[in-house]
Amino acid sequence: MKRAKQIEIAEKVRIIHRQLGHLEPSLILPLMKSDDEYLIVQDWQEGSHSANFAHKKDRKESLKLLNTLHDTHKKIAWQRVPGLHTYSQLLKWQMRHMRFKSRRNEFRAFLTKEEINQISHYSEKSLQLIAQEDVLEKEITLLHGDVVHHNFLWCSDGELRLIDFDLAHLGEADDEYILWLHRVLPAVDYDLGKIFAELPELKRLDKRKLHRLKYPNELLREWLFAVDLPLDQQLVFLDYLVPFTKRALTYWPKLWYDIDKMIKK
């Protein structure tokens, strides 16, 4: 059960479920009727649990599920569905970078000046590379919009399904594969070669877009989230975020090198 912030979001989610509900195998859990128009209600799944990207099976099945979702454009005219729009990933990331820079003094209580400079540097340089991309346009399809591990649910029948379509929008599938990789890489020590070796399905991804993996999306997003938390919640979250950040920064130079190497193959 989830309450949408806006009635338009709730209606968008219902429309998406109606469209996807006609497909087999099912990618989603059906919605239950509710008298509250803002409320999104789904049947409780006894024994269900979220995907864990540290597990090879969960990585494989979650990517397979995304592939299937993105391929629905062959059967569903998503661009005609009301409430679904495209947006610029580059613009969103540029805005996030600027917000991070504007609040850097707030991070000094938790990170060293060098660490903050590193995050800002990697962000700025990667955005420059992304802005120079010369790639062919691909089909526009439905993107889930939030491919965090807990939106992939192992259901009581043993099948993996997608939940929480609040942020669903239109775009190229490659954009969502990049965001999925941002989520998965920390779980495999940022070993890009390992992920591509175990998941040949990633050949769908235009290699010229791999520069987008240089952008420290997880770090920027989580730090901007952390500084606005109430103090008691912030302290708990920082117990996770500070070591996560320090660990990520130790891997970033090699990740940058590996990306360049893979693009040139």
Which tens digits make up the pLDDT trace of 66-84? 999 999 999 999 999 988 9
Q: What is the pLDDT of residue 212?
A: 97
On whether residue 43 sits in a domain, the answer given is: no
pLDDT greater than 60 at residue 1: no
> What is the pLDDT, as a whole number, of residue 34?
72
Distance CA 74, CA 46 (A): 33
Question: Is the residue at 63 inside a domain?
Answer: yes
Residue-wise pLDDT for 102-142, tens only, equals 999 999 999 999 999 999 999 999 999 999 998 888 999 99
Q: How far apart are the first and last CA of the chain?
A: 46
Domain count, the chain: 1
Q: Specify the pLDDT at position 10.
A: 84
The answer to whether residue 195 is domain-embedded is yes
Stretch 18-25: mean pLDDT, rounded? 88
| Residue 27 forms part of a structural domain | no
Q: Quote the pLDDT of residue 119.
A: 98
The mean predicted confidence, pLDDT, of the chain is 93
Can you give the CATH number for the domain in which 195 is found? Answer: 3.90.1200.10
In a domain, 30, yes or no: no
Alpha-carbon distance of 75 to 52, in angstroms, equals 30
Q: DSSP secondary structure string, the chain?
A: -EE-SSHHHHHHHHHHHHHHTTSSS--BPPEEP-SSTTEEEE---TT-EE--TTSHHHHHHHHHHHHHHHGGGGTS-GGGSTT--B--HHHHHHHHHHHHHHTHHHHTTTS-HHHHHHHHHHHHHHHHHHHT-------EEEE-S---GGGEEE-TTS-EEE---TT-EEEEHHHHHHHHHHHHGGGGTT-HHHHHHH-GGGGGS-GGGGGGGGS-HHHHHHHHHHTTS-HHHHHHHHHHHHHHHHHHHHHHHHHHHHHHHHHH-
Enumerate residues 6+ apart whose C-beta is below 8 A from 14.
31, 40
What residue type is assigned to position 38 of the chain? Y
Residue 22 has pLDDT above 90, yes or no: no
Q: How far apart are CA 65 and CA 206, in angstroms?
A: 19
Alpha carbons within 13 A on the beta-carbon side of 23:
21
What pLDDT score was predicted for residue 38?
A: 67
Q: What would the two tokens of residue 211 be?
A: 């520069």
For residue range 226-247, list pLDDT tens digits in order.
999 999 999 999 999 999 999 9
Domain limits at 153? 48-264
pLDDT given at position 29: 83
Question: Does a structural domain hold residue 29?
Answer: no
Number of Cβ within 10 Å of residue 30's Cβ equals 11
pTM of the predicted protein model: 0.94
Q: Give which of 66, 41, 214 is closest to 146, Cα–Cα.
A: 66
Give a yes or no: residue 81 inside a domain: yes
- Work out the pLDDT band at 48, boundaries 50, 70, 90: confident
Q: Are 220 and 123 in contact (CB under 8 A)?
A: yes
Greater pLDDT, 155 or 25: 155
**Any domain includes 11:** no
